[in-house]
Structure 1
Amino acid sequence: MRRVRFALLALAVYGAGTALHGAAVAREPAKPMALIPFELERAKERGDRAVLNLNEDVTRVPGFRISELPVVDGKLGEHAKLDNVEIYFPYGRIVTATAEFHKYRITRVSSGTAAMLDPRYQRVRSFDQQLGKVCASEIGSNGEKVEMRIAPNRVMSVVHVLPPQQPGVDGDTSPSYRVTSGLELRFLSRKEPMAEQLYRECRRPAGTKLTQKG
């Protein structure tokens, strides 16, 4: 299996700021890892076993899974778009993973384009199993519902409930979802400003009513 070890390592060091900083991070004790949500489903879809974990060294990413190395916030070498998931690796290890789920997607047909059901949307049904049950929810400043879920393996996921990206047939307005998952709140908060607030709600004593505004 072809891997882009040297290229990704160089990008990770660039994202760390300096080679010295990158070396210091490399000397940190090994972090606990956990499978990125829905990795088994992606592997089954591709027909291989190349799954990735949160906190895994980014040089373990197989080259065939990389579709783009985008510039985000003016920085190259901290993000990679894979097959239906984007990873964030500021210090050489994968610290967050973001995936989107839309019921319909635009597909080219003989007459032009058409809205077709996206089979990956079925994964929304397994959110409780994969991500854990909703333990806190808020309404963001833009009016969107934002939830936190915490899985038994301690993976925290911030879930945005979004308007449909593409209207469906017969006026179907099933929502879209954006899911960002991580093991460390400090990194999850970089991607999701509401993560810390939601986490505090999730950690309230049992029996305490969760905040659900709106």
Structure 2
Amino acid sequence: MRAPLRALATLAVATALVTGCGTGDDWSRPHPEPTAIGTLGAGFVDPAAPPAPEATITPRPGSWSEVHPPRGYRVVLLTSGDDRPTKELVTAVKEWADAEHVDLRTVTADGPSDLVPAAGRALKMGADLIVSAGNDLIDPLAMVTPNHLSQRFLVVGAELAEPTHNVTSVDWSGASFRGEGLGMSSTYDAASFTPARCAAAIRAGAAAVLSDMTGIVLWLDKV
């Protein structure tokens, strides 16, 4: 009798493992509203004068470091382009997701004609947050984001010219691309997309979103 019982036990354990993995990967299942772990530090923003919509703030370096996403935070990385700045941003987002145990999925636009469809694919996934990396996505996001106000977006290394309350951006002097025919900023510097600055961008931006400080631009000239 021991052998059949052992076989049944082994089958039960295997079934439990498969079920557990499926639950963690299936975004169609119910998901609690994400809550930040930790709080923003002094210097991120003036509590007596919260930023107005579309305002630009300059948080003190490191003032976001104590804020973390809950385990399993659902994030879609929406990206386009193979230039070095975009690659640095993508790497930073993936490293942050790995360190913070974020459930990260990636949608990559396949050329100019796929920019808006790629944004649509990201929207259908039901993420807690969509993170955008790549200047080519700025104009498509300017069209898409106002029509999906319940979805939170984070743009790293660029910004929308007129963001709605669901769009938060992280920018700096060497980035600052705004789309809408405005062209590249005269201060644009691809070398400013360092690993340290890109890492700070995703961490500061995610901390702002998790702290319900959205619809603004975070300016990170110092990290």
- Fold shared by both chains (TM-score > 0.5): no
Structure in which a larger fraction of residues adopt strand: 1
* TM-score, normalising length: structure 1: 0.26
* TM-score, normalising length: structure 2: 0.25
Structure in which a larger fraction of residues adopt helix: 2
